[in-house]
Amino acid sequence: MASADGTGSDPAASSPQPIPGPAQPEEPQPQAAPSTMELVEALSRDRLWLLRQLDSGAWPEWRLDLAALERELGELLDRLAEGANRER
User: Would you state the pLDDT for residue 30?
Assistant: 77
- pTM of the predicted protein model: 0.58
The residue ranges of every structural domain in the chain are: 36-87
What single string gives the DSSP state of each residue in the chain? ---TTSS---TTTTSPPPPP-PPPPPPPPP-PPPPHHHHHHHHHHHHHHHHHHHHTT--GGGHHHHHHHHHHHHHHHHHHHHHHHHH-
Quote the CA–CA distance of 41 and 74 in Å, as a whole number: 11
Condensed to tens digits (0 to 9), the pLDDT of residues 29-49 reads 778 888 888 888 999 999 999
Q: What percent of the chain has pLDDT over 90?
A: 42
What parts of the chain have a pLDDT lower than 70?
1-25, 88
